[in-house]
Amino acid sequence: MDTYEAADRMMVIKEEIIDLLHEAMTIAEQHGSSTTVARARSYWYGHIRTALDEDSGYMGRSMCTLEDTAREIQADAENEEEESQEGGI
């Protein structure tokens, strides 16, 4: 797997986690009390969701999201590619 593929894979994993997170929240909503659901949404759901990207719908954000990391890896790959092209000129 090259660096671009790694960054793309991380973005796919992020989406898979979001899907699973929504599924877990749906299960909590279907089977938990309103207090249980409120606590879940305020704590573990919110923490996990804000750690994935900035599209969480929560006011706060993580200092570094999974998406940030994937984009940094992609940018590093682009910089290395540019440097190798400049060195070959």
Give the per-residue pLDDT at 78: 84
Kindly report the pTM of this predicted structure.
Answer: 0.83
What pLDDT, on the 0 to 100 scale, is given for residue 13?
A: 98
Digit-by-digit pLDDT tens for the chain (89 residues) are 888 899 999 999 999 999 999 999 999 999 999 999 999 999 999 999 999 998 877 777 788 999 999 999 999 888 877 778 877 65
- For residue 89, being part of any structural domain is answered with no
Tell me how many domains the chain contains.
1
**Domain that residue 12 falls in:** 3-84
Q: ∠ CA 45-46-49 to the nearest 5 degrees? A: 80
Q: Is residue 58 part of a domain?
A: yes
Q: Give residue 15's pLDDT.
A: 97
Handedness of CA 51, 54, 60, 63 (dihedral sign): positive
